[in-house]
Amino acid sequence: MASKRKLLLLSTSTVFGSEYLQYAKTEIDSFFKRNNVAKILFIPFALRNHDEYARKVKDALSVWGYEVKSIHESSSYVEEVNNAQAFFIGGGNTFLLLKTLYDHSLIEPIRKRVLHDGIPYMGSSAGTNVATISICTTNDMPIVHVPSLNALALVPFNVNPHYMDPTPGSKHMGETRETRINQYHEIPGMPPVVGLREGSILEVIGDKVKLLGDLSGRVFIEGELTKEYPADSDLSFLLNKTN
Q: List, by residue number, the catalytic residues.
A: 125, 140, 162
C-alpha distances (whole Å) from 62 to each of 59, 161, 163 are 6, 26, 30
Residue 64 to residue 223: CA distance in whole angstroms: 44
What strands, in cross-sheet order, belong to the sheet with 217-220? Answer: 158-161, 193-196, 217-220, 227-229
Residue 134 to residue 142: CA distance in whole angstroms: 14
From the CB of residue 169, how many other CB atoms can be counted at a distance below 10 Å? 5
Residues 6+ away with beta carbon under 8 Å from 14? 20, 21, 22, 23
**What backbone torsions phi and psi does residue 156 show, to the nearest 5 degrees?**
-90, 35
C-alpha distances (whole Å) from 143 to each of 92, 106, 133, 212 are 12, 20, 20, 31
